């Protein structure tokens, strides 16, 4: 780790200064919320574990781990490591270890961030049967230049700044005066967010979740397991400021272990009530939670529900089981005889729910450190099950995707023998304009599947409620037509044996629909059936497509808008009897590409790989070539890829046909290719030009002719006819004539 100090420097000492902050602490956090590396740990409510608000800002070191690939980044320089992420954390902590004797300050310098649940695979040898569908780091920590700590009990605020020196013993980074100046500034940040316009989608339906609970109960009966924590993940759209959602949640439903992490390309918002681990030198504490009831509508119902929780034998057994598990875990690293259950089955009231909580304490052995403590207990037993290893195997079996942050841990690891980590429950990840969060519960022998499903909804109510209340309007799920019936989009299914899925054996049509009226529907259906006869070689279906399209449009509330409708056919399962093709119709709101509006045309680049396949004459589901070409064009800063034939002549673009127009000859030239899709819109534009006295010529066209033509036009059923303004960075020929300009939607 000597190379780390060469780029990040060393910590010389810590400056500590009292601050007077008049604004609410959450507003102070807001000023830094959009800065990557900002971490806020806020304690809502008045429980004994909700004492400190902590804000960590201006990181001088970033640690991220993707499996065994660890990156340490400081001052724009990166060190790459290959190894166990826990070992990497230990190395960094040991490298910057220091003595800090002021026990009134929980952390003066250290690392802030998260450990994902999936780090379990570096502690135990487990089968990995769930999918990582986010690609986010499993380990993410930042070393802040400054830490602001507000003690709610004493109503005091202190600023801690790490004073660093480079390898020449020269001062680097922020000093306490510069940080104070930042804190005085009052920069307003965006405070708006929206989510849930596409409604919450779960990877489980209620019957599927209940079936998973039933399977866990069978594992319990067979003796595999005593308890398993089963969860379901919700997902929907999100836009705006993630911290604005954090702030709103904190105001309406405070809890002791709120956390906000701006990790740069993603943000974490956690409203957790549960402490995983706390350490102060040798003193260690964990507070497992088991047992949940919703809050009542009035005082009487509240009291009834809380008494029901306290009397519940099922919840008592569940909590006792986890307490025993945590005692055993702590016993691996704590001194013999030091582990005590200080409180058991304490009732704690939160905004939406009641919980049963136990407090377990111990003394860490002198030869053990913070990483030893974490590895002995991670992931927390309250959110895996008992025994832990078999529980984690069953979780991976029944939950289709990796949990990532959910049921991992959030908090800090200091460089001076302290840590405080929460269990990451009631925690959301905002990533690529989506928000994801999971909720779950412990399943035991006498669990009722329906009750377990309802419990997940109670636990997720705060996040769900905020998202749904922020919706601009009530809207049903997106719907599609599949094989004769309308179904929600998230319930549509295609068999894995479908040759359309396996080989792309199928085809589609994309149709523009204005105010409920599909454009050129007869031509689209004719082309669709032509492909059907060539590719499927079975009788075409007898369907009234205009009625089906109208049903889909109305079900999605698109009657008064411009919509893009897609008709799709896949071959189906060849082993099925009778042979069953798979037909689907989808609809979405359509808006013109910004490039068309901003530039009055589209830029092309020539795709380097020519295309030659007889399937190009049909709109098949084997569309990967065109998808890759379009993605490549966007990476080059263009709008579309120009597709060439093997002889270098022009065929089309990745989404459209091309036409060249010469004013002098009053001629429209269509590229001649061995195999190319005949365009519905191309046909309409050509007919429009013919009506104006323009002649049509079909011949081979080379790319250089785009620069000599008076007009170059792209056509497809969605965009209509749009000028091509450049090819490979050079402007194409373009004269404003009446030929194409008079043709528009």
Rounded CA-CA distance 440/204 in Å is 12
Rounded CA-CA distance 44/152 in Å is 10
Rounded CA-CA distance 309/256 in Å is 21
Set 62, 217, 235, 274: catalytic member = 274
Question: Closest by alpha carbon to 317, among 444, 452, 216, 448?
Answer: 444
| β pairing state of 39-42 and 139-151 | unpaired
| Residue position matching structure tokens 């365009």 | 679
Identify whether 387 is preceded by a cis peptide bond (ω within 30 of 0). Answer: yes
Residue 247 known to be catalytic:
no
| β pairing state of 266-272 and 257-262 | antiparallel
Spell out the residues 6+ positions from residue 605 whose beta carbon is closer than 8 angstroms to its own: 633, 636, 638, 640, 641, 642, 727, 728, 729
Rounded CA-CA distance 69/324 in Å is 35
| Residue position matching structure tokens 């599909």 | 518
Q: Return the sign of the alpha-carbon dihedral for residues 210, 216, 222, 227.
A: negative
- Please name every residue paired with 230 in a beta bridge, in sequence order, or none if there are none: 441
Write the DSSP assignment of 72-139 as a string of letters. Answer: EEETTEEEEEES-HHHHHHHHHHHT------TTSS-SSEEEEEE-GGGGGGTS-----SB--S---SE
Identify whether 379 is preceded by a cis peptide bond (ω within 30 of 0). Answer: yes
Set 10, 120, 278, 290: catalytic member = 290
Give the distance, in angstroms, between the CA of residue 4 and the centroid of all CA atoms in the same chain.
Answer: 31
Task: For residue 296, give both structure tokens.
Answer: 């009542």
Residue 274 known to be catalytic:
yes
| Residue position matching structure tokens 């209509």 | 720
| Catalytic residue positions, numbered | 274, 290
């Amino acid at each position: 780790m000597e190379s780390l100090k060469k780029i990040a420097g060393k910590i010389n000492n810590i400056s500590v200064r009292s601050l007077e902050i008049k604004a609410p602490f959450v507003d102070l956090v807001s000023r830094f919320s959009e800065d990557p590396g900002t971490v806020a740990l806020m304690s809502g409510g008045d429980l004994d574990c909700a004492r400190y608000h902590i804000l960590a800002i201006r990181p001088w070191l970033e640690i991220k781990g993707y499996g065994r690939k660890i990156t340490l980044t400081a001052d724009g320089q990166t060190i790459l490591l290959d190894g166990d992420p826990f070992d990497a954390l230990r190395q960094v902590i040991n490298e910057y270890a220091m003595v800090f004797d002021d026990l009134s300050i929980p952390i003066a310098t250290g690392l802030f961030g998260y450990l994902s649940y999936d780090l379990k695979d570096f502690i135990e040898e487990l089968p990995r049967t769930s999918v990582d569908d986010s690609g986010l780091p499993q380990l993410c920590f930042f070393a802040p230049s400054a830490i602001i700590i507000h003690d709610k009990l004493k109503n005091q605020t202190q600023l801690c700044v790490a004073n660093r020196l480079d390898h020449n013993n020269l001062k680097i980074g922020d000093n306490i005066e510069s940080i104070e100046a930042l804190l005085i500034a009052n920069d307003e940040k965006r405070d708006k967010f929206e989510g849930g316009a596409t409604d919450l989608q779960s990877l489980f339906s209620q019957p599927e979740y209940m079936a998973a609970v039933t399977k866990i109960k069978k594992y319990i009966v067979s003796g595999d397991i005593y308890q398993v924590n089963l969860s379901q993940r919700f997902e929907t759209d999100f836009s705006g400021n993630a911290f604005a959602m954090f702030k709103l949640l904190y105001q309406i439903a405070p809890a002791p272990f709120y956390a906000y992490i701006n990790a740069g390309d993603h943000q974490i918002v956690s409203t957790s009530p549960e402490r995983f681990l706390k350490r102060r030198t040798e003193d260690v504490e964990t507070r497992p939670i088991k047992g949940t009831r919703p809050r009542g509508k009035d005082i009487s119902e509240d009291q009834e529900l809380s008494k029901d929780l306290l009397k519940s034998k099922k919840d008592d057994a569940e909590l006792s089981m986890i307490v025993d598990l945590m005692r055993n875990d702590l016993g691996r690293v704590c001194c013999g005889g030091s582990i005590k259950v200080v409180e058991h089955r304490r009732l704690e009231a939160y905004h939406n729910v009641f919980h049963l909580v136990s407090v377990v304490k111990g003394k860490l052995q002198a030869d053990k450190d913070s990483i030893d403590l974490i590895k002995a207990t991670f992931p927390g037993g309250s959110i895996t099950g008992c025994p832990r290893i078999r529980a984690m195997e069953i979780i991976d079996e029944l939950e289709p995707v990796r949990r990532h942050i959910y049921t991992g841990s959030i908090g800090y690891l200091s460089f001076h023998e302290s840590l405080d980590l929460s269990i990451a429950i009631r925690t959301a990840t905002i990533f690529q304009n989506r928000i994801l969060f999971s909720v779950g519960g412990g399943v035991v022998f006498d669990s009722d599947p329906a009750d377990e499903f309802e419990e997940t909804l109670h636990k997720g109510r705060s996040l769900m409620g905020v998202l749904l209340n922020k919706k601009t309007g009530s809207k049903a799920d997106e719907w599609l037509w599949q094989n004769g019936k309308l179904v929600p989009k998230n319930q549509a299914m295609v068999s894995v044996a479908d040759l359309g899925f396996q080989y792309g054996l199928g085809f589609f049509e994309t149709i523009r629909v204005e105010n409920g009226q599909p454009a050129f529907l007869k031509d689209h259906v004719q082309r669709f059936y032509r492909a059907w006869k060539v590719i499927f070689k079975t009788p075409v279906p007898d369907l009234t497509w205009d009625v089906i399209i109208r049903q889909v449009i109305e079900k999605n509330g698109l009657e008064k808008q411009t919509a893009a409708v897609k008709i799709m056919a896949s071959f189906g399962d060849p082993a099925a009897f009778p042979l069953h093709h798979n037909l689907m119709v989808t609809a979405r709101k359509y808006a013109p590409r910004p490039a068309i509006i901003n530039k009055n045309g589209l830029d092309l680049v020539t795709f380097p790989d020519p295309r030659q396949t007889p399937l190009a004459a049909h709109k098949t589901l084997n569309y990967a070539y065109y998808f890759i070409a379009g993605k490549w064009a966007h990476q080059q800063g263009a709008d579309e890829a120009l597709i060439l034939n093997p002889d270098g002549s022009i065929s089309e673009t990745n989404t459209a046909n091309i036409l060249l127009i010469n004013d002098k000859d009053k001629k429209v030239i269509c590229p001649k290719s061995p195999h190319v899709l005949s365009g519905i819109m191309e046909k309409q534009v050509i007919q429009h030009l013919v009506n104006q006295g323009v002649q049509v010529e079909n011949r081979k066209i080379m790319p250089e002719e785009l620069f000599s033509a008076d007009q170059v036009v792209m056509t497809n059923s969605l965009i209509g006819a749009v000028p091509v303004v450049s090819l490979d960075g050079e402007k194409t020929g373009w004269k404003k004539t009446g030929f194409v300009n008079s043709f528009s939607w």
